[in-house]
């Protein structure tokens, strides 16, 4: 092998090494950017998940408060209804007594 051939082989080997390094750097840079974007996406998804969980907890607390309020209102309305039904029952009973007394008085006068 002559000196010129040796210089040519070494030059080609260095050129191939530089090209291979350049291609590998580009490939690894692309992989890092994808991974870095994926990490940001995962962090963003985690933040959105935390926000959704907080909103769910807030809504659950509001739902519990609304449920308790509606249940207490229902108990109050049921108590009012029971009192009204008792009053109506007593009024009907009183009316029946008055009607019976009237009928008895009417029969007594008819004799």
pLDDT mean values, one per 10 residues, the chain (111 residues):
93 97 93 67 89 98 98 98 98 96 88 68
Q: What is the pLDDT of residue 109?
A: 83
Q: What is the pLDDT of residue 42?
A: 80
Cα torsion 92, 98, 99, 101: sign: positive
**Maximal C-alpha separation, the chain:** 159
Q: What is the pLDDT of residue 41?
A: 79
- What lies within 8 Å, CB to CB, of 9 at 6+ separation is 1
Distance between CA atoms of residues 103 and 94, nearest Å: 14
Q: What is the pLDDT of residue 1?
A: 81
Annotated domain spans of the chain? 1-78
The model's pTM is 0.49
Q: What is the pLDDT of residue 19?
A: 97
């Amino acid at each position: 092998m002559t000196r010129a051939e040796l210089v040519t082989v070494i030059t080609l080997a260095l050129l191939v090494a530089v090209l291979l390094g350049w291609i590998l750097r580009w490939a690894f840079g692309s992989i890092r950017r994808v991974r870095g974007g994926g990490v940001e996406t995962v962090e963003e998804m985690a933040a959105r998940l935390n926000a959704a969980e907080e909103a769910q907890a807030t809504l659950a607390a509001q739902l519990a408060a609304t449920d308790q309020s509606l249940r207490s209102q229902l108990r109050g309305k049921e108590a009012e209804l029971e009192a009204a039904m008792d009053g109506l029952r007593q009024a009907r009973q009183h009316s029946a007594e008055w009607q019976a007394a009237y009928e008895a008085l009417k029969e007594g006068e008819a004799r």
